[in-house]
C-alpha cells in the first residue's frame, strides 16, 4: 500500500515540477520575443528623434509583454522552488518512509497546493496555450521545409527547418500532455482540500459546542 501511494505521490510531484519548468520555458521565450520587438523599435525612435506612433505602439507592447513575462518567470520559478523543497524532503525520507512519513509529505503537498492554487491553475492554462503556440510554429516550420524542398533549397537549410519542426512538435506534446495529467492530480487535490475544509469546520463546530 505504501509503495503504491509513494508511486502516485512521485507522479504528482514530477507533474508539478514539469508544469513549472514548461511555464518557465514559455515565459523565457515570451520575454525574448518581447525584447526583440521592443529594442529595435526603441532604436528606430532614437534615430528618428521623433514620435513615430507605429513604433511607439510596438515599444509599449514590448515593454508590457516583457513585464508580464518576467513576472510569470518569477512566479513559475517560485512554484518550482517549492516543488524542489518537497522533493528534497521526500528524497531524505525515501529510504525508510513509513505511512506516517508519507502522510506528512502528502499533507505538505496539499498545503502547498492550497497556498498556490490560483497560480498553479493559471500555469495549467498557460501550458496549454504554449502547446498551441508550439504546434502552430512546428506546423509552419514543417510547411516551410516542404515548400523549400520542392523549390530545391540547400539541404542544410532544410535540415535546420525540419529540426525546428521536430523541436516545436516535441515542446507542443510536452506542453499539452503535462497539464492534461496534472489537471487530474489537481482534481484529486481539490477533493482532498474539500474534505480537509469540511473536517476543519466540523472540528471548529465541536469545539464551539464544548
Residue 203 pLDDT greater than 60, yes or no: no
Domains of the chain, residue spans = 2-209
Range with lowest mean pLDDT among 32-46, 174-188, 195-209: 195-209
Expressed in angstroms, the distance from the first to the final Cα of the chain is: 37
CB 69 within 8 A of CB 27: yes
Q: What angle do CA 82, 21, 92 make, to 5 degrees?
A: 40
**DSSP-assigned states of every residue in 24-80:** HHHHHHHHHHHHHHHHHHHHHHHHHTS--HHHHHHHHHHHHHHHHHHHHHHHHHHHH
Residue-level pLDDT at 81? 92
Computed over its alpha carbons, how large is the radius of gyration of the chain?
23
Residues of the chain with pLDDT > 70, as a percent, come to 91
- Using an 8 Å Cβ cutoff, are 98 and 2 in contact? yes
Cα(14)–Cα(47) distance, integer angstroms: 50
Distance CA 202, CA 5 (A): 27
Closest of 60, 79, 68 to residue 17, by C-alpha: 79
Say if residue 199's pLDDT is above 70: no
* 96-154 pLDDT, tens digit each: 777 777 778 888 888 888 889 899 889 999 989 988 989 998 898 888 888 888 777 77
Residues whose CB falls within 8 Å of the CB of residue 33, separated by 6 or more in sequence, listed in order: 65
> Which residues, in sequence order, are CB contacts of 31 under 8 Å at separation 6+?
65, 66, 69, 70, 73
pLDDT given for residue 77 in this prediction:
92
Asked whether the CA dihedral 179, 183, 184, 189 is positive or negative, the reply is positive
The whole-angstrom separation of Cα 20 and Cα 14 is 10
Amino acid at each position: 500500500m505504501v509503495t503504491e501511494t509513494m508511486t502516485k505521490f512521485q507522479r504528482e510531484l514530477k507533474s508539478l515540477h514539469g508544469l513549472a519548468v514548461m511555464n518557465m520555458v514559455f515565459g523565457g521565450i515570451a520575454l525574448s520575443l518581447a525584447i526583440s520587438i521592443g529594442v529595435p523599435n526603441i532604436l528606430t525612435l532614437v534615430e528618428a528623434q521623433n514620435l513615430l506612433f507605429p513604433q511607439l505602439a510596438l515599444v509599449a507592447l514590448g515593454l508590457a509583454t516583457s513585464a508580464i513575462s518576467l513576472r510569470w518567470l518569477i512566479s513559475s520559478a517560485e512554484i518550482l522552488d517549492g516543488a524542489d523543497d518537497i522533493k528534497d524532503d521526500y528524497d531524505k525520507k525515501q529510504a525508510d518512509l513509513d505511512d506516517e512519513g508519507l502522510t506528512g509529505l502528502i499533507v505538505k503537498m496539499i498545503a502547498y497546493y492550497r497556498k498556490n492554487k490560483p497560480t498553479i491553475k493559471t500555469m495549467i492554462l498557460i501550458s496549454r496555450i504554449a502547446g498551441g503556440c508550439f504546434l502552430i510554429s512546428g506546423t509552419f516550420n514543417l510547411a516551410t521545409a516542404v515548400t523549400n524542398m520542392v523549390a530545391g533549397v540547400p539541404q542544410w537549410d532544410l535540415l535546420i527547418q525540419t529540426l525546428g519542426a521536430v523541436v516545436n512538435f516535441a515542446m507542443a506534446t510536452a506542453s499539452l500532455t503535462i497539464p492534461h495529467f496534472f489537471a487530474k492530480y489537481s482534481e484529486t487535490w481539490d477533493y482532498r482540500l474539500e474534505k480537509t475544509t469540511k473536517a476543519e469546520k466540523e472540528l471548529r463546530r465541536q469545539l464551539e459546542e464544548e
